[in-house]
Amino acid sequence: MAKKRVLTTRTVRNLEGSLFMAPWLLGFIMFLGFPLVFSVYMSFNTLKILPNKMKYNFVGLKYYHEILFGSSALYDELIPYFQEVIFMVPVIVIFALLIAIFLNQKLPGRLVFRALFFLPVIFSTGAVLQGFMSQGEGGLGFIQGDAINGFMDTYLADSSWGKPVKAVLENFVMVLWYSGVQILIFLAGRQTIPVSAYESARIDGASPWEVFWKITLPAMSPFILLNLIYTVVDMFTFPSNPVINLINSDNYGYSSALAWIYFIIILVFLGIIMLIYSRVNRGSSRRR
Amino acid sequence: MKTKKALSFLLVSIMILLAACGQTNQGASGNDSSSQSPSESSKPSPAIETVEWDENGPETTVKVMYPWGEDNFKTFVLDRYEGAYPKNITLECVCIAAELKPMQEMNAKGIVPDIIFAGFGIDPLVELEMYEPLDEYVQKYGVNVDQFNKAVIATYRGMDPDKKQGLIGLPTFVDTVGLIYNKEVFDKFGVPYPTGQLTWDEVADLAVKMTAKRDGIQYRGLELGAGFTGGEALKPLQEFEINWTDPETGEVLIDKLPEVKKYFEQMKKFYSMPDLYNKDPEARGRYQFAELTVAMTVSYPAFIRWGMGGDPDKLKNIDAVPVPVWEAGGTGPNVYSHPYMLNKYSENKDAGFQVMLGFAKAENEDPVTSPRYEFATNPVYEGKNMKAFWDYNPAVPPVISKYDKLVDIEGSLKDFAESDMNIDEHLRKLKEESEVKIKEAKSLEN
């Protein structure tokens, strides 16, 4: 009589796990992994989709060379947007942190306020935001007044750094729209700080100002990093981003090469942020 | 070990699945050496027997690629061309613009239109190898293409990407221009109305007489395009049978061509007339002729409706004469008509050709008398010399250079008008800017 094969409990558990993982894995390979690898391939080719076939023509690094050294198209779009991002990211993170602290207070209608601040994330899409911005709803009303507008024109004019500052102010409402997720992360982070830490600080006679700098901010630092990364990625991949528009061309090879160059630029930028963050964090830990 | 085997099996299964999914594309991908090139297909067969389309034959559906949606397709194709094509052919709209990206998306979905309205130029069709020269079908059905606007047909032959003078498509409505004038302004300055075709020098002489203030209103003798820098300002230049760039190499020729210099000298003459050019930046965005303060403009026949707002009071003093030329009897501006083109991959090429032919014949009727045209039916054109818009010999450039569109002469006119108008310096600068654009375009070519 043949010996009956029995799977060990461990194998069954592993198989179970693999089966649970399989939908995600399949989805990842089909909808992310394969397109990613294929886009690398496309970036070295000219691709045309003809009615009966896809026609490839190998061009090597031509598109990479053209984008980086043969044309100013990328730089014309990237540099001004990059300058805007440099202003917007700290503004968004600080705004989200302050609102999160505010929403953590025990105040009447707290739940409604929390919902209100998160609402834009739920119903806003790139097209909706574009619509608002094109209707001039992205700015702050009081800035449009003659006094402030005149002041900005006089002192910022159209200098290379003046323009992005003006652009940020003109679309300042975007900060609110960009901040929903960050507020939620900060709120969750704020709730991880034990109440006892605040109680003991109060007993020791610390003022709210000191409590913020000595307890809240240090405890929130991992969430600040998380939000920095999230905000940078969110801004660099936002549909109205001019570089994304440039990528959305009818030359798939060129677009793929540009997308990969842009990806590496974002990666380097994130690396620099993490480096600066770790230096600052290490310095403040030593001071404490 | 067993787990690893199971995982390996899972991964291999996924790979096989993906490979199978990709097979349809893979099979079709790779450099195509077997498919017939457009030039090969364009060679007319030496012994093609002339045949007639059998209107009592089987019902056929022709898919028409048309950019402006189902509603416009009904109005401007089905209704407009009713009875113009064989009765056993039914038209179906593939409502997609003939631009590179939408066309590739369409190809990926496996949709194959039979004929394509090339409203955005022929480059996307050439890029995607989807155009079919018509000479074989012209011969097969014994079509006399001389019945259509000769300049447009010559232009289509000049556009043949294979440089073999193949016929790339059949025309629709031909865009022509005329000199539209306002009798009220002429009367105000006591100048007699033009009675026939003028030369540009005569137009300049008239313009200077009618550029002055009357009753506190600034009148101007001439406007070419919105604010004198619009597309219509290029019409004098388009009367020369020249290419602005070398069609083969893309070399910018504008600084070497005496015709271009002559054109800029004429424009300098216009722009130098006191008060003829309105320096107000807002003037660039509107037609001052429509405000009844300009004596003459060069525009399209339908400008009388859309440009003047269709107001009968405004229109009563408006009339037209043929477009001015450089010398009496000389050629007028080149003309163009967005063509219908045959898709090389169509399975109904004969039926598609019959539809295109029907459209072209319908559009070839006399625009002033045919009820298909608004010029015969819309009362805004009543009593006006509409024949003038078709009363000239259009210029035909020898070969159409695809790089010409990268030389933005129109865009440079504002700077020219508002500078010290040094023609050589302006052309040198424009040439340099154009060279950068052409270099970029060429670097992305295959």
Q: Which of A147-151, A239-243, B139-143, B337-341 has the lowest mean pLDDT?
A: A147-151
pLDDT, residue A18, reads 94
Measure CB to CB from residue A53 to each of B10, B29, B127 and give the nearest one. Answer: B29
Flag if A50 and B130 touch (Cβ within 8 Å). Answer: yes
Q: In chain A, which residues have their Cβ closer than 8 Å to the Cβ of B3?
A: 10-11, 14-15, 18
Among partner residues B6, B31, B108, which is closest to A49 by beta-carbon distance?
Answer: B108
Cα–Cα nearest to B227, from B178, B266, B270, B176: B270
Flag whether pLDDT at B287 surpasses 60: yes
pLDDT the model gives residue B81: 93
CB contact under 8 A, B18 and A18: no
Pairing of strands B217-223, B294-299: parallel
Instruction: Find the CB nearest B107 among A15, A49, A57.
Output: A49
Q: What is the CATH number of domain A72-248?
A: 1.10.3720.10
> How far is Cα A53 from Cα B31, in angstroms, rounded to an integer?
10
Let me know: does B26 contact B116? Beta carbons within 8 Å: no
Tell me the sheet residues that pair with B320.
Answer: B180
pLDDT recorded at residue A147: 64
Distance to chain A for B393, nearest Cα, Å: 38
Q: Is the dihedral of CA B416, B419, B425, B428 positive or negative?
A: negative
What is the C-alpha to C-alpha distance for residues B153 and B265, in angstroms, rounded to an integer? 31
Once rounded to an integer, what is the mean pLDDT over residues B145-152? 92
Q: What is the mean pLDDT of chain B?
A: 87
Residues A48, A55: Cα–Cα separation, whole Å:
5
- CATH of B55-174+336-364, picked from 1.10.150.120, 3.40.190.10, 3.90.1300.10, 3.20.140.10, is 3.40.190.10
What does the block give as tokens for B292? 């009844």
Rounded CA separation A149/B290 (Å): 36
Percent of chain B's residues with pLDDT above 90? 73
Of A8, A15, A55, the CB nearest to B6: A15
pLDDT at A288: 59
Contact assignment for B444 to A66 by CB distance below 8 Å: yes
3-state secondary structure B70-88: HHHHHHHHHHCCCCCCCCC
**CA separation for the pair B259, B240 (Å, rounded):** 7
**Closest partner CB to A50 (pick from B3, B128, B439):** B128
Interface of B with A (CB under 8 A): 2-3, 6-7, 10, 14, 18, 21, 25, 28-32, 35, 99-101, 104-105, 107-108, 110, 112, 127-130, 343, 345, 439-440, 443-444, 446
Q: Tell me which residue has tokens 């069609």.
A: B247
pLDDT of residue A175: 76
- Helix, strand or coil for residue B419? coil
Neighbours of B347 (CB within 10 A): 10
Average the pLDDT over B56-85 and give the result.
Answer: 93
Band (pLDDT 50/70/90 cuts) for residue B72 is: very high
Question: pLDDT higher for B53 or B171?
Answer: B171
Strand partners, B131: B343
Q: Which of B35, B110, B443 sits opposite A70 (nearest CB)?
A: B443
B55 CA to chain A: closest CA distance, Å? 29
B444 contacts in chain A (CB < 8 Å): 66, 251, 254
In the predicted structure, residue B248 carries a pLDDT above the cut 70: yes
Predicted pLDDT of residue B23: 37
Contacts of A268 (CB under 8 A, 6+ apart): none
Q: Is B127 in contact with A51 (Cβ distance < 8 A)?
A: no
Residue B236 CB contacts under 8 Å (≥ 6 apart), including other chains:
B200, B224, B263, B266, B267, B324, B326, B333
Using DSSP, state whether A62 is helix, strand or coil.
helix
B37: its two tokens:
């090139």
In this prediction, residues B34-62 reach a mean pLDDT of 62
Q: Percent of chain B scored above 70 by pLDDT?
A: 89
Q: How far apart are CA B181 and CA B196, in angstroms?
A: 12
| B435, two tokens | 């060279």
pLDDT of residue B203: 97
C-alpha distance from A198 to closest chain B C-alpha (Å): 50
Distance of residue B348 Cα from the nearest chain A Cα, in angstroms: 15
Closest CA to B69 of B95, B94, B91, B92: B95
pLDDT at position A145 is 63
Q: Three-state SS for B117?
A: strand
Q: Is A146 on the interface with B (CB under 8 A)?
A: no
Interchain CB distance below 8 Å, B14 and A49:
no
For B177, left (φ over 0), alpha (ψ -120 to 50), or beta? Answer: beta
What is the mean pLDDT of the segment spanning B2-13? 48
Q: What pLDDT does B323 receive?
A: 97
Q: From first to last of the 288 residues of chain A, give the pLDDT tens digit.
A: 556 677 889 999 999 999 999 999 999 999 999 999 999 999 999 999 999 999 999 999 999 999 999 888 899 989 988 888 888 888 889 989 998 988 888 888 888 888 888 877 776 666 676 777 777 666 666 666 666 666 766 666 666 677 777 777 777 777 777 788 899 999 999 999 998 999 999 899 989 889 988 899 989 989 999 999 999 998 888 777 889 989 988 889 999 999 999 999 999 999 998 998 888 878 776 665
Q: Where in chain B is the domain with CATH 3.40.190.10?
A: 55-174+336-364, 178-334+385-443
Cα separation, A38 vs A200, in Å, equals 58
Q: Which residues pair with B62 in a beta bridge?
A: B91
* Residue that has been written with the tokens 């090969």 in this structure: B40
Q: Find residue B91's DSSP bridge partners.
A: B62
Which residue in chain A has the smallest CA separation from B35?
Answer: A52
Q: What residue spans define the domains of chain A?
A: 72-248
**Cα angle, residue B225 at apex, residues B219 and B226 outer, rounded to 5°:** 70
Place of tokens 């998306």: B105
Angstrom distance (rounded) from CA A286 to CA A115: 39
Digit-coded pLDDT (tens) for B172-197: 999 899 999 999 999 999 999 999 99
For B195-216, b/e burial (b = at least 16 CB within 10 A) is eebbebeebbebbbebbeeeee
Per residue in B191-233, pLDDT tens? Answer: 999 999 999 999 999 999 999 999 999 999 999 999 899 999 9
What integer pLDDT is reported at residue A125 of this predicted model?
A: 63
Q: Which of B3, B32, B101 sits opposite A55 (nearest CB)?
A: B32
Beta strand residue intervals within A232-279, DSSP E: none
Of B35, B112, B127, the CB nearest to A48: B127
Closest chain A residue to the Cα of B440, Cα to Cα: A71
Query: Would you call A249 helix, strand, or coil by DSSP?
Result: coil
What secondary structure letter does DSSP report for B216?
Answer: T
**Contact yes or no for B28 and A53 at CB 8 A:** yes
Q: Mind listing the pLDDT tens digit for each residue in B387-404?
A: 999 999 999 877 788 899
Residue B44's pLDDT is: 42
**pLDDT band at residue B5, thresholds of 50, 70 and 90?**
low
Taking CB atoms and an 8 Å limit, are A56 and B31 in contact across chains? yes
Q: What is the DSSP letter of A32?
A: I
Give residue B48's pLDDT. Answer: 56
Cα(B373)–Cα(B358) distance, integer angstroms: 16
> Are the Cβ atoms of A70 and B440 closer than 8 angstroms?
yes
The pLDDT value recorded for residue A272 is 92
Listed by number, the residues of chain A in 18-77 with a beta carbon closer than 8 Å to a beta carbon of chain B are 18, 22, 25-26, 29-30, 34, 46, 48-57, 59, 62, 66, 70-71, 73
* A5 touches B at CB < 8 Å: no
Q: How confident is the model at residue B137 (pLDDT cuts 50, 70, 90)?
A: very high
pLDDT of residue B264: 97
The pLDDT assigned to B199 comes to 97
Distance CA B344, CA B351 (A): 13
| Domain B178-334+385-443 indexed as CATH 1.20.1250.20 | no
Task: Mark yes or no for CB contact B30/A56 under 8 Å.
Answer: yes
pLDDT for position A256: 96
